[in-house]
């Protein structure tokens, strides 16, 4: 598997369903100390529940995250196997990560059914705390693990209380400014002509970022990923601020050529990272999301989801007006 083979989808979108969880998944973990790469080798599953019980249909695939990071950069997926409850994947998914970072991470391995029209059904998951895993050089032990229901609130995950200070606005061209008082309602879904709008996001700074014992002072930067309705991704990155505990980037992300109707169904991921001087892998410090409610599964909690949706709507309903937000990183 490719080291950075992120799919064209930053997140899963569409309709979600749940099955009665059955079956097992077979996988092995290996850590290469020389290259600092964690390999997740997905062999297969057996006795899965049907994704669509009435039609006896199951098109399974495996998705993994290196928790607590649920940003697009953390997601890896296998190919979809058609019409089987005993799929064989034989795929290796990889992460570049320092061995010292593994202690604070959990590997979430979940199985999903891919239905028509982006319909997804959760078939079960396994969550592995990597702090307790015995990584031995060149050892690769495949085992079967029972699939379990989704953890609603993993109590033992690291909770971040860090905050990201941002300001955002939808910049609308002058010829449309007479519509500004009505906000986004005036555009409806037929705004293909309004192509030269801009989403502008000013990244002011962050506070209460987690202290990394291994790193000392932080060299932090922000990644932005705007996911459009067709699953296209527009990515931006701020400069690195070195040795700043409370960084003030004052950096502007500009997303060109977007329409209000597009943004109604879009999601913006903002994640903060530490740039290690001695390592080629960056350390995740926390993330936040603004966006459409269909992405709510990926906000971590319904409270954060509702807040992210409301903040996004504020921006869209007040064109050409800067809206200030303090985003809790999680």
| Residue 33, domain CATH | 2.60.40.150
All residues at 6 or more sequence positions from 211 whose CB lies less than 8 Å from its CB, including other chains? none
**pLDDT at 242 exceeding the cut of 80:** yes
**pLDDT at 137 exceeding the cut of 60:** no
Q: Is 196 part of a structural domain of the chain?
A: yes
Which pLDDT score is estimated for 22? 94
Mean pLDDT score, 249-266: 92
Which pLDDT score is estimated for 104? 79
Which pLDDT score is estimated for 178? 58
Counting the structural domains of the chain, the total is 2
Same domain, yes or no: 86 and 197: no
Q: Is 68 part of a structural domain of the chain?
A: yes
Same domain, yes or no: 213 and 142: no
Q: Is 2 part of a structural domain of the chain?
A: no
All residues at 6 or more sequence positions from 136 whose CB lies less than 8 Å from its CB, including other chains? none
Question: Beta-carbon neighbour count of residue 249 at 10 Å?
Answer: 22
Q: Is 7 part of a structural domain of the chain?
A: no
Mean pLDDT score, 229-241: 91
**pLDDT at 153 exceeding the cut of 70:** no
Which pLDDT score is estimated for 214? 55
**326 compared with 47, residue with greater pLDDT:** 47
Domain extent, residue 231, equals: 163-328
Indicate the residue among 95, 111, 146 that finishes a domain.
146
**CA atoms of 127 and 120, how far apart (whole Å):** 20
Which pLDDT score is estimated for 69? 80
Q: Is 317 part of a structural domain of the chain?
A: yes
**pLDDT band at 59; cut points 50, 70, 90:** very high
Same domain, yes or no: 202 and 100: no
Mean pLDDT score, 33-56: 92
Same domain, yes or no: 233 and 138: no
**CA atoms of 218 and 211, how far apart (whole Å):** 8
Same domain, yes or no: 138 and 184: no
**pLDDT band at 173; cut points 50, 70, 90:** confident
Q: Is 152 part of a structural domain of the chain?
A: no
Same domain, yes or no: 128 and 168: no
Average pLDDT, the chain: 81
The per-residue b/e assignment along 261-294, b for 16 or more CB within 10 angstroms, e otherwise, is: bbbbbbbbbbbbbbbbeebeebbbbbbbbbbbeb
Which pLDDT score is estimated for 113? 95
Same domain, yes or no: 201 and 324: yes
pTM: 0.52
Q: Is 5 part of a structural domain of the chain?
A: no
**Sheet order of strands, 283-291 included:** 233-237, 220-227, 267-274, 283-291
Which pLDDT score is estimated for 68? 81
Q: Which range is most confident: 8-17, 292-301, 321-330? A: 321-330
**Percent of the chain, pLDDT > 70?**
78
Which pLDDT score is estimated for 230? 84
**139 compared with 45, residue with greater pLDDT:** 45
Q: Is 105 part of a structural domain of the chain?
A: yes
**pLDDT band at 12; cut points 50, 70, 90:** very low
Same domain, yes or no: 181 and 67: no
Same domain, yes or no: 218 and 323: yes
Which pLDDT score is estimated for 203? 96
**Percent of the chain, pLDDT > 90?**
41
Indicate the residue among 91, 111, 146 that finishes a domain.
146
Indicate the residue among 119, 146, 173 that finishes a domain.
146
**pLDDT at 34 exceeding the cut of 70:** yes
**pLDDT at 71 exceeding the cut of 90:** no
Mean pLDDT score, 144-171: 75
Which pLDDT score is estimated for 281? 78
**pLDDT at 73 exceeding the cut of 60:** yes
Same domain, yes or no: 120 and 190: no
Same domain, yes or no: 189 and 312: yes
Same domain, yes or no: 104 and 241: no
**pLDDT at 180 exceeding the cut of 80:** no
φ/ψ of 8, rounded to 5, equals -70, -5
Return the closest-CA partner of residue 49 out of 73, 16, 18, 88: 18
Mean pLDDT score, 101-127: 90
**pLDDT at 138 exceeding the cut of 90:** no
Tokens 């795929």 -> residue: 91
All residues at 6 or more sequence positions from 55 whose CB lies less than 8 Å from its CB, including other chains? none
Which pLDDT score is estimated for 157? 43
Instruction: Point out the least confidently predicted range of 21-25, 71-75, 268-272.
Output: 71-75
Q: Is the dihedral of CA 303, 307, 313, 317 positive or negative?
A: positive
Instruction: Point out the least confidently predicted range of 91-95, 175-179, 234-238, 239-243.
Output: 175-179
């Amino acid at each position: 598997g490719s080291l950075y083979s992120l799919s064209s989808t930053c997140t899963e979108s569409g309709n979600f369903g749940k099955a009665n969880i059955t079956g097992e998944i077979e996988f092995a973990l290996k850590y290469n100390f020389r290259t600092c790469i964690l390999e997740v080798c997905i062999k297969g599953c057996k006795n899965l529940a049907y994704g669509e019980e009435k039609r006896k249909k199951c098109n399974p695939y495996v998705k993994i995250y290196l928790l607590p990071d649920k940003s697009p950069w953390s997601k890896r997926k296998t190919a979809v196997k058609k019409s089987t409850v005993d799929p064989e994947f034989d795929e290796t998914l990889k992460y570049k990560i320092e061995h010292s970072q593994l202690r604070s991470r959990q590997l979430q391995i979940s199985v999903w059914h891919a239905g028509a029209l982006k319909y997804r059904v959760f078939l079960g998951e396994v969550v592995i705390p990597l702090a307790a895993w015995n990584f031995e050089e060149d050892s690769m032990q495949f085992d079967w693990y029972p699939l379990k229901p989704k953890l609603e609130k993993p109590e033992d995950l690291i909770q971040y209380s860090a905050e990201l200070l941002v300001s955002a606005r939808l910049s609308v061209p002058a010829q449309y400014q007479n519509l500004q008082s009505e906000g986004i309602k005036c555009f409806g879904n037929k705004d293909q002509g309004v192509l030269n709008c801009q989403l502008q996001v000013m990244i002011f700074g962050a506070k209460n970022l987690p202290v990394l014992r291994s790193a000392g002072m932080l060299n932090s930067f922000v990644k932005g990923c705007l996911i459009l309705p067709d699953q296209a991704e527009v990515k931006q990155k701020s400069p690195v601020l070195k040795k700043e505990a409370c960084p003030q980037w004052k950096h502007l992300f500009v997303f060109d050529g977007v329409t209000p109707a597009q943004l109604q169904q879009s999601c913006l991921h903002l994640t903060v990272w530490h740039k290690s001087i001695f390592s080629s892998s960056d350390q995740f410090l926390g993330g936040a999301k603004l966006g459409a409610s269909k992405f709510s599964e990926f906000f971590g909690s319904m409270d954060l989801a509702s807040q992210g949706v409301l903040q996004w709507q504020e921006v869209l309903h007040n064109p050409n007006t800067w809206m200030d937000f303090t985003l809790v990183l999680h």
